[in-house]
Chains A and B, each alone.
Chain A
Amino acid sequence: MKIAGVGLLLAASLILADAAFAAPPDREQIERGRKVYDKWCFPCHGTGLGKPGTESLAARGQKPAVLAERTDLTSPMITQFVRHGVLFMPTFRKTEISDADLDAIAAYLTRNNKQ
Chain B
Amino acid sequence: MKIPPGVSASDFAAAVKEFEDVVGKEWVFTSDEDVALYRDPYSPFLGEPDELVASAAVAPDGAEQVQAVVRIANKYKIPIYPVSTGKNLGYGGAAPVFSGSVVLDLKRMNRILEVNEESAYALVEPGVSYFDLYRYIQEKGLRLWVDVPDPGWGSPVGNALDRGGGYLMAQYRNHFDSHCGMEVVLANGEIIRTGMGAMPGAKTWQEYKTGFGPWVDGIFSQSNFGVVTKMGFWLMPEPEAYLSGTVYVPRHADLIPLVRILTHLENTRVTNGMPDLGSPLLYIPMIQEIDVWNEGGAPPPPDAELAELMAKSDAGFSPELEAYALRKGISYWSCKLSFYGPPKANEANWEFAKEKFLAIPGAKFVENENYKLPLTPEQREKVHKPQFGIPSLAMFSIGARTATNPNPTNGHMWFSPIIPRTGEAIFEANRVFNEAAKEFGIPALAFSLPSCYWERAFIFIFAFPVTRDVETNKKNRAAFKKLVQRAAEHGWGEYRTAPAYQDTIMSTYAYNNHSLLRFQETLKDAVDPNGILSAGRYGIWPKHLRKEPA
Contact = CB atoms under 8 A, between A and B. Distances in A.
Report, as a range, how many residues of chain A touch the other chain. 20 to 34
A87 interface: yes
A50 B93 CA distance: 23
Nearest to A91: B37
A63 B89 CA distance: 29
A39 B401 contact: no
Contact of A95 (B41, B108, B409): B108
Contact of B393 (A39, A50, A58, A96): A50
Contact of B411 (A39, A52, A56, A88): A88
9 contacts: A52-B291, A52-B396, A55-B295, A83-B37, A88-B408, A88-B411, A94-B34, A95-B27, A96-B85
B397 interface: yes
A109 B34 CA distance: 24
B291 A93 contact: no
A87 B401 CA distance: 9
A109 to B, nearest CB: 18
A4 interface: no
Given A55-B402, A91-B39, A94-B37, 4 more contacts: A59-B401, A87-B410, A88-B411, A93-B105
Contacts, number: 95
Given A59-B402, A90-B93, A94-B37, A50 B392 contact: yes
B89 A90 contact: yes
Interface in A69-115: 83, 85, 87-96
A51 interface: yes
A83 to B, nearest CB: 7
Contacts of A96: 85, 107
Given A56-B408, A91-B37, A93-B86, A39 B397 contact: no
Interface in A51-68: 51-53, 55-56, 58-60
Nearest to B292: A49
Contacts of B230: none
A44 interface: yes
A90 B393 contact: no
A52 B394 contact: yes
Lowest 3 A-B CB distances belong to which pairs?
A: A50-B394, A95-B107, A90-B41
A53 B294 CA distance: 13
Nearest to B404: A59
Contacts of A53: 396
Given A56-B400, A59-B403, A95-B107, A51 B393 contact: yes
Contacts of B411: 88, 90
B501 interface: no
B131 to A, nearest CB: 7
A51 B394 CA distance: 6
Nearest to B392: A50
Given A51-B393, A55-B400, A90-B93, A43 B87 contact: no
Given A44-B393, A85-B41, A93-B37, A55 B403 contact: yes
A39 B130 CA distance: 12
B94 interface: yes
B401 A43 contact: no
A48 interface: yes
B93 to A, nearest CB: 7
